Amino acid sequence: MSSQKETFEKFSAPTDGNVLLVDTCFGKVSVGMVSEGKFLGELSSKEGAMESLFGLISAISEKFSIPLEAVDGFGLCDGVGSVLGIRVASAALSTMAMVSNRERSVFSWQLFDAAAAYASSVCNDYVVGVPSRKGYVNALWAKGMERGESELDFESFAQRFSGKDLRKFYINQRPMSGGGMSFASEAENMDLPLESIWTYIMSGKISLYRRRVPPDAALLSKREYVKWNSQARI
């Protein structure tokens, strides 16, 4: 019987060699370069992944004089977020990893792990809302010892979290609508740079994963399936 434990294996943050990072989940496309565990810098674009990703990868390779052939590993955020953006990034990194005469790893982290790392560093009780184009909101929340994730329509999300004694954050992948607009008007926009995400990764606040075996899709949650599917070899 498949499980998340069987489908994904923990992956240790690389501390040597060159690593290319890609994040398409904060309402923009960002690429970053790491060398010997040190974050060198990043570039970003508000255009979609199809339009901007490959140009950003070329630009950051040139900026730090690290040819793609010299990159030893690739990391990406695998959601929640635009499935198209995640798939484009995954296909690009998987292809670069495979077109080589040596083994190069591809690993991932989750958006909510990054959001929780930041939110918990500035407050105890919070809610993070990530709107979907399909009319619902992915919510991450913490209050006291309770932690949870929910997938709610805009109205239910607003009723549950607007006006509550929680610090509110909004990841602007796309505009809220309906009742969700009241939450967005109260919330702080969360837009984490890759440098912050890399710092959380190195400190152990964000876990990294690598796909291990194909799962039985029927036994996975929606998020687990998107995560595995984004890392499936092309």
State the CATH number of the domain containing residue 43. Answer: 3.30.420.40
Task: Give dist(CA 19, CA 11) in Å, integer.
Answer: 14
Spans of the chain, pLDDT less than 70: 1-8, 163-164, 173-184, 211-234
Query: Is 8 found in the same domain as 104?
Result: yes
Query: Is 170 found in the same domain as 77?
Result: no
Query: Is 43 found in the same domain as 105?
Result: yes
Query: Is 116 found in the same domain as 103?
Result: no
Query: Is 83 found in the same domain as 17?
Result: yes
Query: Is 69 found in the same domain as 33?
Result: yes
pLDDT digits (tens, 9 = 90+) for 150-197: 888 888 888 888 766 889 998 876 655 555 566 667 788 999 999 999
> Which tokens go with 20?
């290319």
In a domain, 143, yes or no: yes
Query: Is 40 found in the same domain as 132?
Result: no
Per-residue confidence (pLDDT) for residue 172, from 0 to 100: 79
> Which tokens go with 132?
């979907």
In a domain, 199, yes or no: no
In a domain, 200, yes or no: no
In a domain, 34, yes or no: yes
Total tally of structural domains belonging to the chain? 2
> Which tokens go with 57?
């990868």
Closest CA to 53 of 87, 16, 103: 87
Task: Give dist(CA 144, CA 42) in Å, integer.
Answer: 35
Percent of the chain with pLDDT over 90: 47
**Helices marked H in the chain:** 4-7, 49-63, 83-98, 111-122, 154-161, 180-186, 194-202, 222-231
Per-residue confidence (pLDDT) for residue 102, from 0 to 100: 84
Closest CA to 138 of 88, 192, 87, 83: 83
In a domain, 196, yes or no: no
Query: Is 9 found in the same domain as 54?
Result: yes
CA distances to 5, 81, 90, 212 from 220, rounded to whole Å, are 11, 18, 20, 14
Query: Is 8 found in the same domain as 90?
Result: yes
Inter-residue contact 208 to 13 (CB < 8 Å): yes
Domain containing residue 179? 112-189
Query: Is 227 found in the same domain as 185?
Result: no
